[in-house]
Structure 1
Amino acid sequence: INIQEMMNRNGNIEIQVMDEKIRFLNLKLAEKKRQIELSLKILPMKNALDADLVVLQIQYSQCKDRIKSLEKHFADPEGKNRKRVLEGKDPSLPELFKKIEELEIQLVQKEEKLLEKDFIYEQVSRLTDRLCTKTENGKEDTLILAKRMNELQQKIKDKTQKMMALIAELSMKQAITIKLQQEMRDKEQFLLTVSSRIEKGLPPPKETEIEWLKVLRNEEMHKAAAEEQYALPNSIYTTAEQRPNAYIPDDENVLPLPRPYGALAPFKPTEPGSNMRHIRKPIVKPIEI
């Protein structure tokens, strides 16, 4: 059964192959038929083209014959139309000499003009070289002047800025002066008023009393603050500079909190007195080996 199935399968494969070949051959047959039909359609045109080709070949041979005949006619030295006489007349010998003299005169004039132009060119070149030399020499002076001008401009700007600042400051001072003058006039007026009231036996104004009380209160506050600053914990008044009694440890693993010194407080030497001016600094002698 397996052999039959295999043979059946092989037969089917061969049938498919044959079908493909038949289909391919049918396509080729159709292509050939199409080419034959196209050739049959082109055949009348080919006959017309062949006739045109024959006509053109005849014309080409005729043209070649005509060219050969023209070449023979042109190369014939005994032909009548071989030469062509130019129009006009030849000048005589005196006319030629006269023409030569005129040309020589024109040549001399041209040479004179050329020499004159050469001379002018030399003069202009000399002047140009002189100007170039002056220009090269003046570049350094120009650079120095430009630098100097820039410096002066910068100084002018600085002076202008300073002057503007001084003007602004002067304006402020004038405003302050006007304000102070006004205050002085007010104070003078107030002083005159107070003096007149005192002369009349009247008490000073209420505003004066209030200001005086403020001054006394401020003095008392300053005095109390000074006493509190110089007061020790045991209620002893002193003006000595207070020494630190705690330090902040430098260890990274410890919080930066102040710690008291305890019994190992650092020693603070006293400041040198006025008698130190009588003591000379010792001179260190070099050691001789």
Structure 2
Amino acid sequence: LEEIFADPENKTRKRVLGGEDPSPPELLEKIEQLEVELLQKEERLLEMDFIYEQVSRLTDRIQTTAEDGKQDTLLLAKRTNELQKKIKDKTQKMMALVAELSMKQALAIKLQQEVRDREHFLMTVSSRIDQGLPLPQETEREWLKVLRNEKMQKEAAEARAKRAAEEEQAALPGSVHTTAEQRPTAYIPNDESSLPLPRPYGALAPFKPSEPGSNMRHIRKPIVKPIEI
């Protein structure tokens, strides 16, 4: 094919196209028509650009509003969680107060019943005293129990006071702290010629025997034989 088309003497290498060439006025008219169409396309393109710009602006505004709404939604969710937590705490406190109120009401009812019982008991005792009758045995036992408790409390208070005094005495300079039982260091002579004044034992103080231990139960008591004369 290349050789056929490159040969200038070959008359079949070219093919005449059909049709007619437009005249210059027709070409000018065609050019003007194309320019008009180009202007219309440019106007359409400008309109599309303007619409695109407006749509982009609206889209940005909507996106900003959506972001702000998302932040507001997050804050609202946090606030809702805080309020729910406060409501839960208040509910628990209210339930605790209701339970405590129920306990107080039960205690008040019990105390009222106890007051009524004491009033009835007081009226009964007063009537027996007015009639010259002795008190009931239960009342006497309760009274003895109260006296015994008061005595025990008094002894305990005295023991505490004594212990505190001993601790204060032991805290003084030169004193020796000891838990041993205090022994007498003086005696009163039985001599009638001398005054009954205490005299110190000196270096030869009497010996105090120790308390018998638990092993004494294994030792038999000696059998005292009668003396035969």
In the superposition, the TM-score normalised over structure 1's length comes to: 0.38
Which of the pair is proportionally richer in helix? 1
